[in-house]
Amino acid sequence: MKYIVSTISAVFLTMFLAGAAPGAEQPVKRVVAVIDADGVQRVEMQAGGYFFDPGHITVKKDVPVELVVKREAGMTPHDIELKAPEAGIDFSVDITTEPKVIKFTPTKAGTYEFTCEKRFLFFKSHKDRGMHGVLVVVE
Ligand SMILES: [Cu+2]
């Protein structure tokens, strides 16, 4: 009997620990864009609940950028928005499971936040659930 009780508590402890894991902050994946032979900095990005991968992207100023963005399969809609017209960056795009290409040329060094602006009813926005990242433009 004692054995059964300890087995049951071990199972519950395992379930508890496993359940705690998804709430933990995932490490942000960082990428420094490389300039392709045709002079474009291409970065492939995956979006999902609730993350951008990579979530930290470094690009060079005055070099065209192409973000190739798609989302994981499932019903949850996602978008990506970055409003920094002073730096030549201004987009708001719904992300689909088919890759979409977002083109811009950053004209000003700085750190700019991109977000997913989706929200389901009165629940926390995707941004507030961790769906945001930064684009760093360097000289
Ligand atoms: Cu989202």
Cα–ligand 1 centroid distance for 108 (angstroms): 27
**Both tokens of residue 30?**
């960082």
Q: Is the pLDDT of residue 57 over 60?
A: yes
Average of per-residue pLDDT values in the chain: 88
> For ligand 1, a single-atom ion, which residues have Cβ within 5 Å?
78, 116, 118, 126, 131
Number of Cβ atoms within 10 Å of the Cβ of 102: 19
- What is the model's pLDDT at position 2? 55
CATH architecture, domain defined by 27-138: Sandwich (2.60)
- What is the model's pLDDT at position 92? 98
Cα–ligand 1 centroid distance for 20 (angstroms): 22
Which residues are paired to 79 by β-bridges?
94
Reference 55, options 138, 137, 131, 139; nearest CA is: 131
Q: What does the pLDDT look like over 7-54, one tens digit per residue?
A: 445 444 444 444 434 445 668 999 999 999 999 999 999 999 999 999
Which residues are paired to 65 by β-bridges?
41, 104
Phi then psi dihedrals of residue 7, to 5 deg: -65, -45
Domain spans in the chain, listed from the N-terminal domain onward:
27-138
